[in-house]
C-alpha cells in the first residue's frame, strides 16, 4: 500500500514565497447529474457557473427554532468552557463559533444525515460523502467580527491536506440575514480560479486563524482582480434559507454592529474520493474537530 501522502500530487500549490498566477480549476464543480438527486438540471448548471445555490425555506420555522435552541444551549454549556471546539471573539470573549456540532447535538447530527441535505451533497459531489467540518457561527450583535476574503479550499488544501476542491459547504441561516448584519459576500464564478496565497503557514495556525485569518489570505491585488472579473453577490435571506457553496469560492463577511445577530449552522461535505492526506502547506495536520479524518460515508 503506497503512502498517499507521498503520491498525491499538489495540483494547487499555495502559501508560496511570492505572488503567483491564478491556477485555473481542473476539476468540475458539479460531479453528479439531474437524475442523481433533488437539484434540477437548471439548478446544477447555475451552480456549476456561479459556484453557489440559494434555497429559500430550506428548513421550516419549527426546525429553525430547534436549531436556535441548540445554538443557545451550546453557547451556554459550561461543559464546553475551555473545550477547543468553542471559539470566542477576541475582543469580547463572546462565543464566535462552536465546531463539530454533529457530535454535540443530536438535532444537528440528524440534520446532516437528513435526505434533504445528504442527497444534495451526494448529487453535487457525485459520490458518497462525509463531514469534513461543521460549525455554528454566532456573529453576535453589536460586536460580531466577520471573516476576511478567503477560499475555504485554500485553507483545507494547505492545512488539512484536501487534494482537490471536490467539497461543498451548506450554510443555513438561523437568523435573518440582512445586507447590513455581517452577511456573507461571495464572488460568483470565482470558484474556478485558485488563488495561491503568499506566506508560510505558522505552526498551530488554527489557534489564531479561527478568530481572524492571516495566513492564506489573498493579496489586495488578487482580490481586486477577482472582484473586477466576477463581481460580488451578497447572500441575504430569511432564517431557514440555505446557501450551498463550492469549497473554492472567494467569500467573506463584514462585522456586525447592528442589534441583529447573524447566526448560521455550517456543514462541509467532502467526497469520500477526496479524502484528506498530509497537509500540502503546513507542518502538521489540524485537529480532527476542525478537519475530520474519519472518512466513513455519511448515512
Ligand atoms: O479554517 C477553516 O476551516 C474555517 N475558516 C473559515 C474562515 N471558513 C471556513 C472554515 O470554517
Ligand atoms: Fe469560509
pLDDT tens-digit profile of 146-190?
Answer: 889 999 999 999 999 999 999 999 999 999 999 899 889 999 999
For ligand 2, the distance from its centroid to the CA atom of residue 2, given in whole angstroms, is 33
Ligand 1, CB cutoff 6 Å, lining residues: 133, 135, 147, 150, 152, 155, 209, 213, 290
Residue 283 has pLDDT above 80, yes or no: yes
Asked if residue 248 lies in contact with residue 23, where contact means CB atoms within 8 angstroms, the answer is no
pLDDT digits (tens, 9 = 90+) for 248-272: 999 999 999 999 999 999 999 999 9
Asked if residue 131 lies in contact with residue 203, where contact means CB atoms within 8 angstroms, the answer is no
- Which pTM was predicted? 0.95
Asked if residue 288 lies in contact with residue 203, where contact means CB atoms within 8 angstroms, the answer is no
3-state helix, strand, coil in the chain (%, to 5): 30, 20, 50
Query: Which mutation among 138, 148, 152, 171 tests ligand 1's pocket best, with the greatest number of atoms within 8 A of CB?
Result: 152
For ligand 2, the distance from its centroid to the CA atom of residue 133, given in whole angstroms, is 11
85-89, 177-181, 285-289: range with highest mean pLDDT: 285-289
Give the position, in ligand 1's atom list, of the atom nearest the Cα of 266: 11
pLDDT digits (tens, 9 = 90+) for 19-37: 899 999 999 999 999 999 9
Residue 3 has pLDDT above 80, yes or no: no
Q: How high does pLDDT run on average in the chain? A: 93
What is the distance between the alpha carbons of residues 241 and 54, in angstroms, rounded to a whole number? 7
Give the position, in ligand 1's atom list, of the atom nearest the Cα of 156: 3
Asked if residue 205 lies in contact with residue 282, where contact means CB atoms within 8 angstroms, the answer is yes
- Binned at pLDDT 50, 70 and 90, residue 64 comes out as very high
Amino acid at each position: 500500500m503506497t503512502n498517499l501522502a507521498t503520491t498525491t500530487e499538489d495540483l494547487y500549490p499555495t502559501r508560496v514565497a511570492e505572488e503567483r498566477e491564478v491556477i485555473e480549476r481542473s476539476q468540475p464543480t458539479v460531479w453528479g447529474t439531474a437524475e442523481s438527486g433533488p437539484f434540477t438540471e437548471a439548478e446544477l448548471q447555475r451552480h456549476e457557473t456561479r459556484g453557489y445555490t440559494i434555497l429559500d425555506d430550506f428548513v421550516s420555522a419549527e426546525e429553525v427554532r430547534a436549531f436556535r435552541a441548540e445554538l443557545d444551549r451550546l453557547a451556554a454549556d459550561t461543559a464546553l468552557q475551555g473545550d477547543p471546539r468553542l471559539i470566542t471573539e477576541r475582543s469580547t470573549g463572546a462565543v464566535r463559533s462552536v465546531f463539530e456540532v454533529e457530535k454535540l447535538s443530536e438535532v444537528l447530527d440528524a440534520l446532516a444525515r437528513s435526505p434533504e441535505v445528504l442527497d444534495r451533497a451526494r448529487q453535487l459531489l457525485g459520490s458518497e460523502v462525509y463531514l469534513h467540518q461543521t460549525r455554528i457561527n454566532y456573529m453576535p450583535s453589536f460586536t460580531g467580527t466577520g471573516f476576511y476574503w478567503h477560499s475555504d479550499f485554500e485553507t483545507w488544501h494547505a492545512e488539512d491536506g484536501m487534494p482537490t476542491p471536490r467539497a461543498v459547504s451548506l450554510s443555513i441561516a438561523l437568523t435573518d440575514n440582512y445586507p447590513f448584519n455581517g452577511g456573507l459576500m461571495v464572488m460568483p464564478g470565482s470558484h474556478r480560479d485558485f488563488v495561491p496565497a503568499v506566506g508560510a503557514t505558522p505552526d498551530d495556525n488554527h489557534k489564531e486563524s479561527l478568530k481572524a485569518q492571516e495566513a492564506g489570505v489573498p493579496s489586495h491585488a488578487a482580490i481586486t482582480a477577482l472582484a473586477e472579473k466576477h463581481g460580488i453577490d451578497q447572500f441575504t435571506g430569511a432564517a431557514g434559507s440555505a446557501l450551498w457553496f463550492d469549497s473554492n469560492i472567494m467569500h467573506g463577511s463584514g462585522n456586525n454592529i447592528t442589534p441583529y445577530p447573524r447566526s448560521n449552522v455550517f456543514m462541509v461535505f467532502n467526497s469520500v474520493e477526496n479524502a484528506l492526506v498530509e497537509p500540502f502547506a503546513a507542518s502538521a495536520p489540524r485537529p480532527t474537530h476542525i478537519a475530520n479524518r474519519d472518512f466513513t460515508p455519511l448515512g
